[in-house]
Amino acid sequence: MSKRYLIISGLFVLTLAITIGSVSSCKKLMPDMIDPNFGVCGPVDDLTNSQTILFSRGNDQFFAIRDAATGLGPYFVSNSCGGCHSSDNRGHPFTILTRFGQTDSTGNKFLGQGGPQLGSSNLPGYTPEQIPAGAASSKFIAPITAGLGFLEAVPDTEIINMARRNANNPDGVRGHPNYSAVPSNIPPLYGSVPRADGKYICRFGRKASTYSLVQQVAAAYNHDMGITSDYMPINPYNYLDQTAPPASSPEVNNDDFNSVVFYVTCLQTPNQRNADDPTVKRGNALFVQIGCETCHKQTLKTGYSPIAALSNQTISPFTDLLVHDMGQALDDGYTEGDAKTSEWRTTPLWGLGLARNVQGGNIYLMHDGRAHSIQEAIKLHGGEAAASSARFSKLSTQEQNAVITFLNSL
C-alpha cells in the first residue's frame, strides 16, 4: 500500500473526527437561534421544566396541520393555527376570514344560518358556504398572538379605569370595554365579575368580544378549522342539519387543547429594538404628544396570574383593550358584543416593526389588512382618533419619519 493512500485515508478519518467533534461540542457549524429581536417565537422567561414541556406540546399543536381525517372542516378557513398566525405575529391576507350577521348589541341574528363566521373553504364535494342575504359582514386578518397571556392578566379594574380617564378627553377620545355574554362553560378569569346584566368585560379579538384565551382557542378551532372541542362540541357545519347530534368525542382532545391555550398564554412579548436611538426617542415623544398614546397605551400593569412570569408585570403593548369609534371609513356594518359597528379594539402595536418580515416583505395593517403602510394605517384613523391622525399629518416630514421609526422599533 502506498504512502499516499495512507495519508489520504488518514485525512479522511481526521476530517470526519474533527467535524463530528466540532459539531457536538462548539456547534459552530449550526445556525443560531432566532434572535428575539427579529422574531417572536419563544416562551416567557422562567417557566418551570414541566411548563416548558407543556409549552412545547402547545407549540406542536399550534402548528399541527389538520386534514379531513383529523377533523378539519367540512367548512374551515385554514388548516392550522399557525397557518394564519405564522411566526406568532400579524397574519397574511391569504388566510383572511369573514364574519357576518350582527349589527348591534342585541346579538347575531344569523347563528342559525352559519353565523358568525363564513367557512370560506370546504372539503371537496361540499357545497361552498355563502353569506346569507341581508347579513352585514366584515373581514379580519390574524392579529399578533405574542404577549397575549399578559393582556389576559390585565385586571378588569385597570380596563375600566382607562375608560374613565377618557371622560373629558379634548380630542373626543372615549372608548369603552366591550361587555359580552360568556358561555357558562368558559372558566372565569381571576378577579373578573359580571355586570348587572350578566355580561363580562371581554378583551380578545378585533372587536374585543372574546372573554379569555380559552374561549378564543375554542372558537378558533371551531370556526377557523371546523374542529370541535369540549368547550364548543358542535361543528359549525351542523347548522345545516340541526338534527345532527354533536360529535361523540371532541376532535381536539383536552390535553392538546390545554397545551395550545398554555402556548398562546406564555408567548413572550416582542422586544423593542433600538429604544435608545435618538430618533426612536423623539418619535416616541411625538407619539405621546399628538395623542396616539391616549388609546395605544404604552404602559400597562398585569395583576395576579397563576403563571408567575405573567404576574404583576409591567408591559408595553400599546393598547387599552377598549373599543373606540374609528369613524365611517372603518365602519363595516358588522359588530360583536356591545360594540357599535364603527368601534374596534385598539390594536396592540408591539411587534409592528417585525410584521414586514413575516408578511412576505409587505405589511397589511388594520382589522382587514387594508393598510399597506403605517402611514396609510394612520390616515385611516377617523372618529375618536381623527384629531390625533390630523395632528400626525401636520407634523413635518422629519417628525413623521421619527414616529414611523419609533413604530418600527416596536
Partner 1 sequence: MKRYYCFPVLIVLLTSLSAGAQIDSSLLNGMAKTDTTRKKLSMDAIYDRPFLKMGKLPVAIGGYMEANWQYVGTSGISIGNQFQFRRFSLFAASSISNRIKFLSEIEYEDDPAGDPDEATEGGKFEVEYAAIDIELHPLLNLRGGMIVNPIGSFNENHDGPKWEFTDRPIAMTQMLPDTWSNPGFGAYGKEYSGHWMYGYEFYLSGGFNDSIIDNTQGRTFLPATKASTTRFTKSASGEPLYTAKISLGNDRIGELGLSYMGGVYNTWQIEGATVDDKRRVNVFDADFNTILPWTHTNIVTEWAYIAIDIPPNYPQSYGNRQFGGFIDVVQPVISGRMLGWQHATLNLALRGEYVDWNVGNFAATGTPMYNDLWSVMPAVSFRPTPQTVLRLNYRIQNQRDITGSTIGATIGQTRGISFGVSTYF
Task: Please give the residue ranges that form the binding site for partner 1 (CB under 8 A).
Answer: 1-2, 5-6, 8-9, 12, 15-16, 19-20, 23-24, 27, 29-34, 38-39, 41, 59, 63-70, 72, 77-80, 82-83, 86-87, 92-96, 120-125, 128, 354, 357-362, 364
Site mask, ligand HEC, residues 123-142, x = CB under 6 A? -----------------xxx
Contact between 388 and ligand HEC (CB under 6 A)?
Answer: yes
- Measuring CA to CA, which residue among 267, 264, 266, 288 is closest to residue 407? 288
For 124, residues 6+ apart whose C-beta sits below 8 A from its C-beta are none
410 binds, among partner 1, ligand HEC, none (CB under 5 to 8 A by kind): none
CB of residue 369 vs partner 1: minimum separation in angstroms?
9
CB of residue 288 vs partner 1: minimum separation in angstroms?
30
Q: Residue 334 in contact with residue 328, Cβ under 8 Å?
A: no
Q: Tell which one of 119, 367, 400, 408 touches ligand HEC (CB under 6 A).
A: 367
Region near ligand HEC per CB under 6 A, out of 130-138, 221-229, 273-281, 297-305: 221-229
Q: Tell which one of 66, 90, 176, 199 touches ligand HEC (CB under 6 A).
A: 90
- Composition of the chain by helix, strand, coil, percent to 5: 40, 10, 50
User: Cell numbers at residue 293, please?
Assistant: 398614546
Residue 215 CA to residue 148 CA, distance in Å, equals: 13
Residues 43-72 close enough to bind ligand HEC by CB under 6 A: 62
Backbone angles phi, psi at 40, to 5 degrees: -120, 105
User: Cell numbers at residue 197, please?
Assistant: 346584566
Contact between 100 and ligand HEC (CB under 6 A)?
Answer: no
Region near ligand HEC per CB under 6 A, out of 20-28, 87-95, 123-131, 270-278: 87-95
Q: Which is nearer to ligand HEC, 23 or 310 (CB)?
A: 310
Residues 321-360 close enough to bind ligand HEC by CB under 6 A: 324, 326, 330, 344, 346-347, 349, 352
Enumerate the β-bridge partners of residue 232.
none
Q: What is the DSSP string of 284-308?
A: HHHHHHTTGGGTS-S-EE----SSG
Q: Tell which one of 153, 154, 162, 213 touches ligand HEC (CB under 6 A).
A: 213
CB of residue 336 vs ligand HEC: minimum separation in angstroms?
7
367 binds, among partner 1, ligand HEC, none (CB under 5 to 8 A by kind): ligand HEC
342 binds, among partner 1, ligand HEC, none (CB under 5 to 8 A by kind): none
Enumerate the β-bridge partners of residue 138.
99
Contact between 204 and ligand HEC (CB under 6 A)?
Answer: yes
Residue 62 CA to residue 262 CA, distance in Å, equals: 11
- What is the SS3 assignment for 323? strand
Q: Residue 224 in contact with residue 353, Cβ under 8 Å?
A: no
173 binds, among partner 1, ligand HEC, none (CB under 5 to 8 A by kind): ligand HEC
143 binds, among ligand HEC, partner 1, none (CB under 5 to 8 A by kind): ligand HEC
Residue 132 CA to residue 107 CA, distance in Å, equals: 16
Relative to beta strand 121-122, strand 75-76 is antiparallel
**Alpha helices in 193-253, H assignment, sequence order:** 213-219, 225
CB of residue 119 vs partner 1: minimum separation in angstroms?
9
Q: Residue 320 in contact with residue 346, Cβ under 8 Å?
A: yes
Kindly give the interhelix angle for 49-63 and 254-266, rounded to the nearest 10 degrees: 100
326 binds, among ligand HEC, partner 1, none (CB under 5 to 8 A by kind): ligand HEC
Contact between 265 and ligand HEC (CB under 6 A)?
Answer: no
Residue 337 CA to residue 345 CA, distance in Å, equals: 12
Enumerate the β-bridge partners of residue 102.
108
Relative to beta strand 323-325, strand 343-345 is antiparallel
267 binds, among ligand HEC, partner 1, none (CB under 5 to 8 A by kind): none
User: Cell numbers at residue 196, please?
Assistant: 348587572
CB of residue 144 vs ligand HEC: minimum separation in angstroms?
7
User: Cell numbers at residue 308, please?
Assistant: 408567575
Residue listed under C-alpha cell 347530534: 245
162 binds, among partner 1, ligand HEC, none (CB under 5 to 8 A by kind): none
Residue type for 171, please? D
Residues in contact with ligand HEC by the rule CB under 6 A: 62, 77-78, 81, 83-85, 90-91, 95, 97, 140-143, 145, 148, 173, 204-207, 210, 213, 216-217, 220-221, 224-225, 260, 264, 290-292, 294-296, 324, 326, 330, 344, 346-347, 349, 352, 365-367, 374, 377-378, 381, 384-385, 388-389, 392, 403, 407
